[in-house]
Structure 1
Amino acid sequence: MSDRYGTVVRRLGHQPWFAWLGRQAVPLDRAIQRRTGGRLTVIGRAGLPEMLLTTIGRKTGAERTVPLLYARDGERYIVIASNWGQPNHPAWSGNLRANPDATVTIAGRSTPVRAEQLTPTERERVWPAVVRVWPAYDTYAERAGRELRVFALTTRD
C-alpha cells in the first residue's frame, strides 16, 4: 500500500481518539487475521508489521491471542506492551512474564517463541527501531505514565 497512507496512520497514532478506535478494532483485527491465516489485517494497508501473539493466560491457562505491531532486532521480534497508552499493562505482557513460551503468527505462518523482557539497557538500544515502526509509542509511554514493557521474542526449536 502507499507510503502516504502509512505516514498518515503513523501521524494519527498520536491522537487519543485514534488509540480509542484502535482498542475497539482489536477483536475485529484478531478475527480477520484468524480467518485469513494472518494474510489480511485491519491495519495491513498501512504497511505496518503485524503479528498475532498467542500466550497462555496466567490465571485461566487458556490460550489468549492478540494482534500486535513488532520491530525486528536481528532474528528476534520486539513487541511493546503499550496497551494503547492506558495506565495499566496489557494482560498479554503479564502472561509472558508468567509463562514466556508463546506463538507468533505472521502472514499465516506460526512459530513457537520464547519471550524475554528487556533490561533497561537493551530497551534503550532497540527503542529507535521500535518508534520507526510506530512513532506513537513515545506518546503512549507519556500518556500511560509508566514504563512500557518491551519483550524480545526468540524462535524456539
Structure 2
Amino acid sequence: MSVEAGTDPLNPIDNETPWVARQIAEYVATDGEKPTFRGGAPLLLLTTKGRKSGVWRRTCLIYAEDAGRVLLVASLGGAPKHPVWYLNLQANPEVYLQVGARRFRAIARTATADEKPPLWDRVVGVYSDYADYQLKTDRQIPVVILDPVDD
C-alpha cells in the first residue's frame, strides 16, 4: 500500500519551481553529492509541514553549520515577504532534513536578536549574496537554527 504524496514527511511533495525541482531530483539521485549552489554554497533538503494545508513539502536551500546545528536564511532573495517554508516552520517547528546522505529530524527556531549577529556572519561567509539581499528589503531577514533531534 503506497502513501499519498504529502501526507508523510518521508514522501513529501517537492517544490514545483522547475530549477528547484531539478536541484531536488539531482540531490536525491546523488545522496547530496550534487548539486551545489553558485560559488560552491552547500545545499540541503528541507521538509516542512504546511501551516494551512498540513501537507509535507520539500525544498532545496543553502545552509551553514554551527556547533552541530544547521543554519538557514529566510531571504527569498531579498523579497519584502518571508518564504513559505519559513512561515510553515514557524507554525510547525518539527522539520526533516537531508544533508548529504544524512537524513534526520530537527526542531526549528528563529535566532533571537542577540544570537543573530555571529550567525549572520557565518551564513554570509557561506553565501555572500545574503548581505545584498538584506540591503534590498526593509524586513529583517531571519536566521533559522535547526537543532537535530536524536531518534
CA distance 1:150–1:111, shift in 2 (3 Å) = same
Give the number of equivalent residue pairs.
134
The residue type equivalent to 1:93 in the other structure is: Y
Residue 95 of structure 2 contacts residue 108 of structure 2 at CA under 8 Å; is this kept in 1?
yes
Runs of 4+ in 1 over 6 A off after TM superposition: none
Residue 28 of structure 1 contacts residue 42 of structure 1 at CA under 8 Å; is this kept in 2?
no
User: In 2, distance between residues paired with 1:129 and 1:29?
Assistant: 24
The residue type equivalent to 2:72 in the other structure is: V
User: In 1, distance between residues paired with 2:24 and 2:84?
Assistant: 15
CA distance 1:42–1:28, shift in 2 (3 Å) = farther
TM-score after normalising by structure 2: 0.81
Residue 74, structure 1, aligned to residue 67, structure 2:
yes
Match of 1:41 among 12, 24, 35: 35
Residue 32 of structure 1 contacts residue 42 of structure 1 at CA under 8 Å; is this kept in 2?
no
Equivalent pairs: percent with the same residue? 35
The residue type equivalent to 2:119 in the other structure is: V
Match of 1:102 among 91, 95, 107: 95
TM-score after normalising by structure 1: 0.78
Q: Structure 2: give runs of 5+ residues left out of the alignment.
A: 1-16
Q: CA RMSD in A?
A: 1.7
